[in-house]
Structure 1
C-alpha cells in the first residue's frame, strides 16, 4: 500500500505540474507495463520516408514486405512527376525501381528511403494488450497527416530511450521469437541503429487458436478501424469460407453489429475468440537515419518488370 500511495502521489504531481494530457498518457503507459509485462516482436512493417531537413517524413507505411514499399515508392515518384517542373528524374527513378531493388534513392536532390518499422506486442500470461483509454479512437477516420520521425533530444513521451531500448532488446531475446538469422540481424541493428524511436501505435485483430493468439488482420491506424475490419470479416468473409449455415451467419451478423455499435475490444462468437490488440511501432535510428530492410526480412517478390518476365517465360502472362 505505501508503494501505491507514492505512485498515486507522483501521478497527482504530474497532473498538476505538467501537460495534463501527456501526464495521463504517461500514467497509462506505466499501467500497461504492469498489467502486460511481456513484450513480443510481432514482425516488421515497411514503408517509404523522405528526408526533410533533420527529420524523415513518412510517406507510406504498413506493407508486409520491402518490395511492396519499393513499388509504393515507384508509384509516389510517378505522382511527383505530374507536378514537377522537370518530371524526367522522377520517371527515370521509378523505371529503375521497376527493374531493380533499391532501398534508397536520391531523386532531383530529394532523398527517399525504404524504412523498417518493428511492431511490438504487449502481453500478460492470458491475453494481448487492448487499446488504451488514452489512444485516439474516433468513429470516423481523421484526416491523414504524415508522421515525422526524428531523433529525440533526450527523454521522450511516457518512456525514456533507455527503457525502450531495454524492452526492445528483451523482445529480441524472447524464446523462439525470430529464427537464428533474424536474431543475428537484430543484434547487429542494436549497434548500427541503436536508438529506438517510438511511433504512433497501430491496432489489429487477434484470434485465439489452439496454441495461442494469432494476428488476423493487417495493422490499422485506430481501434475503430480494426473493429470495422473484424466486422467486415464476420459479415462477408467468414460465412463464405466456412460455408456457414443460416444460424451461424445470423450469429456473425449480430456479433458484427455489437462490435461496431458498442465499440467492443473483445468478442466471442460461435466458439471463436477475437481481440482488438494494440501494437507499438518502433523505428530504429542510426547516425544516417532510420533503419532499412534487413537481409533476413521476408522479401520473396522481385521488382514488377522482372516478375513480368518470369511469368511470361512460364506462360502465365500474355504480352
Structure 2
C-alpha cells in the first residue's frame, strides 16, 4: 500500500520539511502504513507565475540550486505552483521564473498549471516537466472532471467541493491519477473562490514587478487592496489562517481514517496537505494528524520540536529564505 502525500513549501518551510523528512527516515515506526512523500510544492519567490496564495520574499540563485538538489537527491520532486490565472503572453519571458525552470529541468520536477497560455509555453519550452492540473480550475461538473482526468496530465488535483461526493468520485476513470486536497481551509461552496484566485494572481504579478524595480522598498499590500475595491471581501477573508482544529469542522474535510478506510480502498493514493500560508506550528499539527499513528503523535511532536530547535528552524518564517 502506498499513501502518497504532497506537502507544502520547499522554500519558506525548507528547514521544517528537512526535519520532517529526517524523522520519517529515522523513525518509520511512528508513521501510518504506506506513508510516502510524493512531492513538495510551492515556488521560489518572487515567482510572477505563482498562484493560489500570494508568496512574498526573495530567493537567490544559489538557494534555488541548493533546495532543488537537496530534495531531488532524496528522490522527491519539487512541484511549482505556477497557477496564476492572470498570466499574459508578456509574462512568459519572466527572467526569474525561467531561471528556476532551467535549474530544475532534470526530468524529475513538476509544474502545477492553470493558465492555458502558461501551460502551452511550459509544454513547448520545458518538455521534461510533468504537469499537474490545478484545483484552481474549479472543475466541479462531473463530465468535465472525467474529461480532465483523461487529458495529458500527470496528476489532476480535484476541486475540494467534490471531496465527499462519492457518487462522482466512484466514476472517475483513473483514480490513481487524481490528487485529493484533504485539509481545505476555505469555505465549502465559496462563491468568491475564482475571484480570489484572480485577485491573488494580480497581486503576485504586482509584487514580482515591484521587487524587480524597487528591491529595497517594501511592497504595500494595503495600497494594492485599495486599488481593487471590487475584491474587498477577498482581502477580508481569513480562511487561510484557520487551524487544524478549525478545518476539522468543515464539510469537505477528510480525516486520516477516511484516507485509509475509504479513499485508498476506492483506488485513490495521492493526497495533498495544504499549508503554504500556515504558521509552522499549525502545519506541524497537520503533518502529525495525517501521517503519524494516533498513539504516536505526542512522541512524534516532541521529536519534531526538538529537532526543529536543534536545526534552527524555529525562527521567523521569512528568515528561512
Mark yes or no: TM-score above 0.5.
no
Normalising by the smaller structure, the TM-score range is under 0.3
Greater helix fraction, Structure 1 or Structure 2:
2
Normalising by structure 2, what TM-score? 0.25
Normalising by structure 1, what TM-score? 0.25
